[in-house]
């Protein structure tokens, strides 16, 4: 099977797997236990936070390890909103956020918060003018994904942050798709909170992290929990955390492959040709490794199944919503009708992808479109 669904998950890196095994053998203790085994495990966790803080350019005291991006988004958004509710009950987001963000916002709506969701422009970026005009005196939180998980557009984090200056508005961003591909140090000075995940960067599944600026007040989603300063419950996955940070360090040290990634993207688009429409931003606001496509007059699910039959793994969007027909959020947020959203499919590639595989997939999709 030729794998083209890296935006959903990545294969684990061999070095990260080795670290996972070593940590499982030697640092298996519960990091909350007071004996030496627990203390040694806690030391690993704390060292991993320091390393991650350096990679992100943030204070390690604000890092909390989680089970992944979904838990990180849910806990951080709800915790920050509750911590700021005395100042207001209005939250702004986009129509095209990850399902976990929409889930957290739906939960907060039941608690009395008011949610405003902003559409995308045709270039796949959020409508900044509409976002700014939606800010009110009682707005306490803005949550916008850094890189869209369906079409790979990069949102203007600094421009959004300028809108929050001196207004007491917290800014959270989901960086699950951007971490390891873009330098997050360029945006961390402008946000109050962010979420990242291990299995998107060749680390193990079931591990992630949240950063919340230590200066921010937050209220735990669940009371009386003791792990991670009460941010979440459950024994920390110490081997997974060590493996996650090993993968993160390798991604941080890797030479910039953007030139090669853009070459692969261009090869793919050229091979597919005029049989398809592409949903993307300009070069400055586009992650090259995520390609949003729609063939003329053919549903995306049929394209995905036909590719699968020929040994290629692609997707019809975010894996967290794959079973819910017609829920390609980014396409609808851009103003396209549901018929276009149903024709959407996503191709995403990674560090193991070859030019030969790209060209073969592109030719296959072209043939599918002509059939």
Q: Is 320 tagged catalytic? A: yes
Question: Does an H or E element contain 141, and which?
Answer: strand 139-143
Neighbours of 297 (CB within 10 A): 8
The C-alpha angle 67, 73, 77, rounded to 5 degrees, equals 135
305 φ, ψ (degrees, to nearest 5): -65, -40
Q: 3-class secondary structure for 15-44?
A: HHHHHHHHHHHHCCCCCCCCCHHHHHHHHH
- CA separation for the pair 57, 55 (Å, rounded): 6
274, exposed or middle or buried, with CB in 10 Å at 0-12, 13-18, 19+?
exposed
What DSSP string runs through 275-340?
GEEEE---GGGB-TTEEEEEETTS-HHHHHHHHHHTTEE-BSS-GGGTTSTT--HHHHHTT--HHH
Tokens of 3: 């794998």
| Termini Cα distance of the chain | 22
Active centre residues (catalytic): 320
């Amino acid at each position: 099977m030729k794998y083209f669904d890296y935006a959903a998950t990545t294969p684990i890196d061999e070095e990260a797997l080795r670290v996972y095994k070593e940590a499982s053998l030697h640092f298996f203790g519960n990091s909350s236990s007071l004996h030496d085994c627990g203390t040694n495990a806690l030391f690993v966790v704390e060292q991993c936070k320091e390393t991650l803080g350096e990679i992100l350019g943030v204070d390690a005291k604000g890092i909390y390890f989680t089970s992944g991006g979904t838990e990180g988004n849910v806990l951080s958004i709800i915790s920050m909103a509750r911590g700021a509710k005395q100042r207001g009950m209005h939250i702004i987001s986009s129509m095209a956020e990850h399902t976990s963000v929409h889930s957290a916002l739906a939960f907060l709506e039941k608690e009395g918060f008011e949610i405003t969701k902003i559409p995308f422009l045709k270039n796949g970026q959020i409508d900044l003018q509409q976002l700014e005009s939606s800010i009110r005196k009682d707005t306490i939180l803005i949550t916008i994904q850094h890189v869209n998980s369906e079409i790979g557009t990069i949102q203007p984090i600094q421009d959004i942050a300028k809108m929050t200056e001196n207004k007491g508005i917290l800014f959270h961003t989901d960086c699950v798709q951007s971490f390891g591909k873009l330098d997050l140090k360029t945006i961390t000075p402008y946000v109050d909170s962010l979420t990242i995940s291990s299995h998107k960067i060749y680390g193990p599944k079931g591990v992630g992290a949240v950063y919340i600026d230590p200066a921010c007040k937050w209220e735990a989603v669940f009371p009386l929990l003791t792990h991670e300063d009460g941010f979440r419950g459950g024994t920390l996955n110490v081997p997974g955390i060590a493996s996650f940070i090993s993968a993160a360090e390798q991604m941080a040290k890797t030479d910039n492959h953007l030139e090669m990634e853009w070459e692969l993207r261009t090869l793919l688009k050229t091979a597919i040709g005029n049989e398809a429409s592409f949903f993307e931003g300009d070069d400055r606001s586009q992650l090259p490794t995520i390609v949003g496509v729609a063939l003329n007059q053919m549903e995306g699910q049929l394209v995905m199944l036909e590719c699968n039959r020929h040994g290629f793994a692609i997707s019809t969007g975010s894996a967290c919503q794959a079973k819910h027909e017609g829920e390609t959020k980014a396409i609808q947020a851009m103003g396209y009708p549901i018929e276009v959203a149903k024709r959407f499919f996503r191709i995403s590639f990674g560090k193991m992808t070859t030019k030969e595989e790209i060209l073969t997939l592109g030719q296959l999709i072209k043939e599918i479109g002509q059939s």
